[in-house]
Amino acid sequence: MSGKRSRSFKCAVHHRDRQVCSENDFHLLLQPPTLFQRMVKVIADEFLTDDRERKYYADRYSCCPPPLFIIFITLVELGFFTYYTVVMGEINPSGPVPINSVFIYRPDKRGEIWRFLCYMVLHAGWLHLLFNLLVQVLVGLPLEMVHGSMRIGAVYMAGVLAGSLGTSVFDTDVYLVGASGGVYALLAAHLANVLLNYNNMEFGIVRLIGIFIVASADVGFAIYDRYAAEQVGPPVSYVAHLTGALAGLTIGLLVLKNFEQKLHEQLIWWVALGVYAACTLFGILFNVFNPDPFYPAN
């Protein structure tokens, strides 16, 4: 086959992908991909399972609409930490903790229902903030690029709510700050994404082990800080990590795109819905019928 005929044949093959319309356009295929295109391809390989889906996503994704939720919530949390650092005049790995903030979750102020969500904008020190921001950007941003802001926003906020409700039931004497419930919901949602598409994802077991190691290390430190370390200030809850992860796993199974729907996964969908609804309803009713604080307000 001559060079000209071979060139025409390649044009005809790639014309279906709308990349090449004529021989004059064939040079487009020879241009190296940009940094953004390489990033999109990595995300497609990580979160999509079918080769056609990966190619379509890599070719068509234009960052419109942009993944704004994770970026917005990250900037908000960083802004609140900066504000309270300036106001309180100190910064260290475990502080300052704005005890008297109207946003912090406190067991003696459970009647102020906005605290069950707004506590996420506060953090107990720069180490706590750094871990949460890194995880939600590195895990949440790619998830949002694939699944959309509405779905990832639902997962994140469900984890935040589950963290405070779980703490109010199982760890009743602690204050609560930080977005760990939402962050662990994102980690568990990534786990749900792997579980939904496990057969078609490369290195599925490696991903599961990696998520488990990161989550176990942080939860282990939180448990140690709660029971073994010397308490300098109010105790910090680790229950929010666990209940946030449970919310992320269940809501992730509900709202994330399943690229290969199977019959048994429909049963998993209903089980996940039932578990999250039952746990949330129990947490709400517990707080409604136990309105009295466990100790007087300071």
Helix/strand/coil (H/E/C) assignment for every residue in the chain? CCHHHHHHHHHHHHHCCCCCCCHHHHHHHHCCCCHHHHHHHHHHHHHCCCHHHHHHHHHHCCCCCCCHHHHHHHHHHHHHHHHHHHHHCCCECCECCCCCCCCCECHHHCCCCCHHHHHHHCCCCHHHHHHHHHHHHHHHHHHHHHHCHHHHHHHHHHHHHHHHHHHHHHCCCCEECCCHHHHHHHHHHHHHHHHHCHHHCCCHHHHHHHHHHHHHHHHHHHHHHHHCCCCCCCCECCHHHHHHHHHHHHHHHHHCCCCCCCHHHHHHHHHHHHHHHHHHHHHHHHHHHCCCCCCCCC
Active site residue 14: no
Q: How far is CA 239 from CA 52, 57, 112, 293, in A?
A: 41, 37, 20, 19
Question: Angle at Cα 191 formed by Cα 51 and Cα 203, nearest 5°?
Answer: 50
AA identity, residue 34 = T
Q: How far is CA 135 from CA 75, 159, 167, in A?
A: 14, 14, 22
- Angle (deg, nearest 10), helices 35-47 and 51-60: 150
Active site residue 241: yes
Pick the catalytic residue from 180, 190, 216, 264: 180
CB atoms under 10 Å from CB of 278, counted, come to 10
Catalytic residues: 180, 241
